[in-house]
Chains A and B, each alone.
Chain A
Amino acid sequence: MHKIVEKKQLADTITLLKVEAPMVVREAKPGQFVIVRLDEFGERIPLTICDADRARGVLTLIIQQLGRSTKDLCALKAGDQIRDILGPLGNPTEIEKFGTVVIIGGGVGAAELYTAAKALKEKGNKVITIIGARNKSLIILEDEFKPIADEVLITTDDGSYGIKGFVTDALKKVISEQKVDRIICCGPIPMMKAVTTTAKPHNIPAIVSLNAILLDATGMCGSCRCTIEGKTKFSCVDGPEFDGYKVDFDELMARNKRFLDEERRALEV
């Protein structure tokens, strides 16, 4: 059992939970994730480790409400218990001195890159952050990124805040103004695909964090298989980060729709 010690509403459908999980935070590194199971009936839900407070043994999760399981998680209150948390899982983000790194987060994806941004900055990189969302109310972590990033750019689809347009518009602007050595991107699949397409002509390495549908997340079931450079990889143990140029995004988009009907039914009960 894992007690929720703090809850914060970051946006309309985005909730921050701080949870006691000393075993998980002991070894956690940027880019890794956990599998959460709310109760006996719950699904195994993958969520990124947004922050790890080793001294207190507390894990920060930021959750976007999409379907049944994330809705149930976001409805929890401080003091409530989560049944199982397994982790840290997946390979950590590569943290090196690259030079200038652009961190791009779409929606809740921004939260997934927060610890990586911090670590990259500490390594001496210039860190530029681009946060994109549909509208102003869905922009998260702007204040948290400001002290660690050299520059924070915001884009909204409807222009209600920051630059009107997509994260790729902001990326194009950054690339036109300075040399970029690496891009790390997390968000909706079409966004990650668009970012790699934008980066490609400039030959900038683009790392993407894939949100395939996971089940056991220990390499046992193959639910999260993706095609990387024509080969089948399991995103839970081979990823979740991959070289964006090698990912078959269209297949991933189709595979993530596999349980649409069931997801709708789960919401009705």
Chain B
Amino acid sequence: MATNKTPRQEIPARNPEERNKDFKEVSLGFTEEQAVLEAQRCIACKKKPCCNGCPVEIDIPEFIKLVAKKDYKGAIQKIKEKNNLPAICGRVCPQETQCESLCTLVAKGQPVAVGALERFVADREAEHPGSKEPPVIKEKKDIKVAVVGAGPAGLTAAADLARYGYKVTLFESLSASGGVLRYGIPEFRLPKAILDRETEYIKSLGVEIKYNILIGRTFSIADLFKDGYKAIFLGTGAGLPYFLGIPGENLNGVYSANEFLTRVNLMHAYEFPKYKTPVKIGERVAVVGAGNTAMDCVRVAKRLGAKDAMIIYRRSEAEAPARRAELEHAKEERIEFRFLTAPIKIEGNEKGEVKSMTCLKMELGEPDASGRRRPVPIKGSEYEMPVDTVIIAVGQGPNPLIAHTTKELAVDEKSGELKIDENCMTSIKGIFAGGDITTGEGTVIAAMGAGKKAAAAIDKFFKEK
């Protein structure tokens, strides 16, 4: 059955000229026929190298084998042994640098499309709800555990803890679940309906979700212990936006990526005035940065009607941290890219609105600490370009609120990240943490991996007690 003669299946996507005007999903996913063909390409390597690239350790060849046999129900069960959010991971995981990068078929240039297969299986289950298996829950225990933050780390930890039998309450400060998946990643990459579906699944495991509760303010950590929670998992993410520190950053028309994306994604500003939250966007929009966040911002700007939407990045395309698929999709959608370009100031008009940005051209020098070649300014290359909106997407740091209001929590002084030991425990006994709050901005799957690991550590903590 195994064959690698068939070429890798192309993942169908909507026409760029049409999709860059709306928020409907860009990637269409495999048809059944394509999924089966693609699954048959897997040679089921004995050593399963792909699995080493998966932070939640999905048995990849095993689920792929079931797809090839058209046993989709079996395939989704296999995935769900390890991954509670397959429809999400199948869409946003950077597979090209994870499982797919280790696939034996890379040698031939065409790894198995693991991500697209995962998405296919998850969507197929949703379309055929009859095939859904009730989740297995181990013996119920009378122990309350609090999970803080409903991002991928918190959702995963909550689901696993519920499966272990704990009484789990998940506290989220926003009015909906998902963390970055909700307020950051736009609808055209990850439809909110999928997020809602996955959230319902987690609730079906017995997890109670309480929204609009900011731990550190509404309740302190001490309050949670007082209220009878015996352990706490913190998955509060990296939500603190960084700025460039250049003149003009507080002019009207300069957004942080988080503000811009939150207005649009969480608050539906693209449906203003039906939804009451506004967002203002100019004709020429410059997005500074080249990660996933920057790609999301620039593609949203285009969809909101910007004539020119461009990426300004101080290194070259090769160093851009965004997923390749997103970069390619952005290019197809007529996004302009200015690589090796660094902004040095933003100028405004008499009303305090952005009117232009001054940039320096760069060249690549010696590699720096990150192993990437350092951008060096080219003398005298300064130029000014007219823009009316600037979006700063140069990364974000750990959310500092809980550390600020809980003095005994040890924090890395430089990065602001929470310190944890090999059991995912913070400096306070019974408080665990994982995801972007302990690592800085990472990936969805890494945050989920951390949530899983912490849930197991919490279970061990109680067993050893």
Contact = CB atoms under 8 A, between A and B. Distances in A.
Given A37-B175, A89-B214, A221-B262, A27 B352 contact: no
Contacts, number: 123
Given A37-B175, A86-B173, A222 B241 contact: yes
Contact of A216 (B213, B262, B276): B262
A198 interface: no
Interface in B382-415: 399-401
Given A89-B217, A251-B250, A219 B175 contact: no
A20 to B, nearest CB: 14
Contact of B274 (A41, A43, A268): A41
Given A255-B250, A258-B252, A221 B259 contact: yes
- A interface, over-half SS: mixed
Interface in B365-393: none
Nearest to B245: A232
Interface in A221-269: 221-223, 225-227, 232, 237, 251, 254-255, 257-259, 261-263, 265-266, 268-269
A3 B13 CA distance: 46
B49 to A, nearest CB: 38
A259 B278 contact: yes
Q: How large is the interface on B (under 10, 10 to 19, 20 to 34, 35 or more residues)?
A: 35 or more
Interface string A195-231: 0000000000000000000011011111101110000
B256 A221 contact: yes
B218 A87 contact: yes
Nearest to A90: B217
Given A220-B239, A221-B259, A258-B252, A23 B174 contact: no
B241 A232 contact: no
B211 A220 contact: no
A222 B262 CA distance: 11
A254 B354 CA distance: 12
A218 B401 contact: yes
A69 interface: yes
Given A232-B249, A254-B252, A221 B241 contact: yes
Nearest first, the 4 A-B pairs at minimum CB distance are A262-B278, A254-B352, A220-B239, A221-B259
5 contacts: A23-B213, A215-B277, A222-B259, A258-B252, A262-B279
Interface of B: 173-175, 183, 211-214, 217-220, 223, 239-241, 243, 249-250, 252-253, 256, 258-259, 262-263, 266-268, 272-280, 351-352, 399-401
